[in-house]
């Protein structure tokens, strides 16, 4: 999170303004064991001839510390099993860096996240926004410790307590100007959610995140989570609290229906999931797991 990285300015000025797309509609419903009123009116469902069969999956305590929705901050450090297994050096993989530049040869990131980032910048390029740069990605504990020592607590977190230790976060810049003024920054703040990314440390949420505004720091959480967070103006901290409170959230994003459920985990836990339906499982790095039923 080196602040000076984003002061990089190239000689040629940006020739055109960004044309920003309008986000698609997001319909969100939520309910909990208290049967609270839903935010959106429930849709009528077509009758089915048979009931959906359910199966149970076994979840261990270690799953709490793995997945795309892990909360990492001064209170909740990264566990060894939480680091993504597909971290790659972006400079060495030219197929992953088409459409943007990397600041130096050492930058690493989850391969899956890099592919999704590339999809996002390709979409932005079609709208005339094309001066993206990645200045930082995954850092191991040694690198994070050195950064903390050199930058201090005002600009860095101790080793193991930074999202950069996960492999899911990246610092995004513009080769034209500072990110808070660049078309790239404006485009991302409006559209990143559609590709599963969130602005992790917004300007008006410092008291919640404990981190100063960082217009360059984006985190991959995936759909529908990024869409719900955008819709409700939630940080990751707030979103995870929201899921714990509501227990179950239904969301329709660009015509695709998702269902998100929170389950507390203290030991080996059995969780029901529909037979034959795809799902994703993520811990929250605190006390439970989130099951996301996919379209």
- The predicted-structure confidence for 185-237, as pLDDT tens digits, reads as follows 999 999 999 999 999 999 999 999 999 999 999 999 999 999 999 999 999 99
Give the fold, CATH level 3, of 76-220: Muramoyl-pentapeptide Carboxypeptidase; domain 2 (3.30.1380)
**Is 148 in a helix, a strand, or coil?**
helix
Do 24-36+54-69+222-295 and 76-220 share a fold?
no
Positive or negative, the CA dihedral 64, 107, 128, 185 is positive
d(CA 26, CA 225): 11
Q: For residue range 90-146, what is the model confidence (pLDDT) as tens digits?
A: 999 889 999 999 999 999 999 999 999 999 999 999 999 999 999 999 999 999 999
Instruction: Break the chain into its structural domains and give their ranges.
Output: 24-36+54-69+222-295, 76-220
Rounded Cα distance between 132 and 140, Å, is: 24
Per-residue CA distances from 241 to 103, 236, 282, 288 (Å): 36, 9, 15, 11
* pLDDT tens, position by position, 140-163: 999 999 999 998 888 889 999 999
CA distance 20 to 186: 8
Annotated catalytic residues are 214
Closest alpha carbon to 108 in 93, 128, 124: 93
What does pTM read for this prediction? Answer: 0.84
Q: How far is CA 225 from CA 36, 189, 275, in A?
A: 21, 15, 23
24-36+54-69+222-295: CATH architecture: 2-Layer Sandwich (3.30)
């Amino acid at each position: 999170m080196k602040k000076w990285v984003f002061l990089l300015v190239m000689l040629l000025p940006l020739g055109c303004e960004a044309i920003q797309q309008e986000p698609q509609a997001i319909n969100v419903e939520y309910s909990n064991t208290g049967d609270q009123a839903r935010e959106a009116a429930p849709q009528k469902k077509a009758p089915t001839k048979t009931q959906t069969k359910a199966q149970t999956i076994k979840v261990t305590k270690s799953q709490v510390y793995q997945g795309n929705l892990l909360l990492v901050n001064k209170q909740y450090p990264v566990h060894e099993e939480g680091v993504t297994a597909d971290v790659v050096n972006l400079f060495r993989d030219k197929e992953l860096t088409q459409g943007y530049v990397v600041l130096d040869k050492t930058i690493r990131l989850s391969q899956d996240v890099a592919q999704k980032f590339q999809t996002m910048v390709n979409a932005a390029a079609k709208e005339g926004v094309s001066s993206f740069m990645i200045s930082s990605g995954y850092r191991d504990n040694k690198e994070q410790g050195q950064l903390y020592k050199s930058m201090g607590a005002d600009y860095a977190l101790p080793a193991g307590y930074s999202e950069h230790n996960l492999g899911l976060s990246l610092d995004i810049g513009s080769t034209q100007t500072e990110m808070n003024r660049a078309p790239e920054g404006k485009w991302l703040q409006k559209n990143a959610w559609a590709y599963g990314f969130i602005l992790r440390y917004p300007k008006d949420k410092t008291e919640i995140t404990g981190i100063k505004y960082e217009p360059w720091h984006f985190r991959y959480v995936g759909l529908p989570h990024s869409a719900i967070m955008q819709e409700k103006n939630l940080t990751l901290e707030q979103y995870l609290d929201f899921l714990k409170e509501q227990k179950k959230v239904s969301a329709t994003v660009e015509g695709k229906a998702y269902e998100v459920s929170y389950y507390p985990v203290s030991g080996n836990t059995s969780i029901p999931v529909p037979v034959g339906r795809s799902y994703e499982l993520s811990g929250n790095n605190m006390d439970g797991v989130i099951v996301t039923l996919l379209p």
